[in-house]
Amino acid sequence: MDMRNKLILIAAVVFLVVYATNNQKKRWVKESYEIKYSKDREKAIWGHVLRGDDPALFYGTPLYEAAEAITKHNSDKVSKLLQGKPLSVINLQDEKFLQPLNIFAIRNQDFNSLKVLT
């Protein structure tokens, strides 16, 4: 097998792994609370048990990208992502800990994003 074929094979395997992972996450969003937040299921989907500072808590909601930005302390991106969104969306709570995004920002010690959220 020449180098070109090896590269094509590697690219195909990477594509399939990413595709399968995304499909798993899409199914995870629709699962019941008991299944979704079981330790085994969280580990299978995310590779670890979800804690209160994990943006995956907001996966499948309009706030997921903002939660990721908070973990990176990118308050400018948080501001852009939330601009024009109604308070009913901004105040959505994650299902596991029932925390809104402002509490999530505190848990991640991103006080600039907290200012954006208040």
pLDDT tens for each residue of 6-65:
777 776 666 655 555 667 888 888 888 898 899 999 999 999 999 999 999 999 999 999
Question: Is the residue at 29 inside a domain?
Answer: no
Query: How many structural domains are present in the chain?
Result: 1
Residue 57 included in any domain: yes
Using DSSP's 3-state secondary structure scheme, residue 2 falls into coil
Asked whether residue 83 is domain-assigned, the answer is: yes
The pTM of the full predicted model, rounded to 2 decimals, is 0.78
Instruction: Domain of residue 110: give its range.
Output: 52-117
pLDDT exceeds 80 at position 86: yes
Helices (H), 31-110: 33-36, 39-46, 64-71, 75-82, 87-90, 101-107
Residue 27 lies in a domain: no
SS3 105: helix
Q: Which helix (H) or strand (E) holds 115?
A: helix 111-117
Contact 58, 64 (CB under 8 A): yes
